Every structure is written in C-alpha cells, then in structure tokens.
C-alpha cells in the first residue's frame, strides 16, 4: 500500500511543497494561539472557564 502511495505521489509535479505549506500553517496557528493565550485578559479567560458550569 505504501509503495503505491509513494509511487503515485512521485508522479505529481510540485508535490514537495505541500509538506512545507502544511508545516507553515501548523506552526503559524500555534504561534498565534500561544500569543493570544498570553495576551488575553484574565477576566475574559475566567469568564470562558466558568461558561460550562453556568446553567
């Protein structure tokens, strides 16, 4: 099965850019999420954390 997939992917022109794009999107998302967590107001975080407990 892996041999078939590898053979098929080798025939696609420009396929080597897809892992780079995926890594860039992944890294960017988590950097933005990290920055948001550390710059968010504590009152907003507390409000969100109590949200599931409210009825």
pLDDT at 12: 78
Q: What is the pLDDT of residues 10-40, one digit of tens each?
A: 777 887 888 899 999 999 999 999 999 899 9
Helix or strand run (H / E) with residue 27 = helix 17-39
pTM: 0.60
Structural domain boundaries in the chain: 21-55
Cα–Cα dist 36/34, whole Å:
5
Kindly state the DSSP code that residue 31 receives in the 8-state scheme.
H
Cα–Cα dist 9/16, whole Å:
9
Residue carrying structure tokens 């992917």: 9
């Amino acid at each position: 099965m892996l041999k078939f997939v590898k053979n098929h992917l080798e025939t696609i022109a420009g396929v080597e850019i897809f892992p780079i794009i995926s890594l860039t999107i992944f890294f960017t998302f988590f950097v933005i999420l990290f920055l948001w967590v550390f710059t968010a107001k504590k009152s907003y975080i507390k409000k969100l954390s109590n949200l599931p407990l409210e009825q």
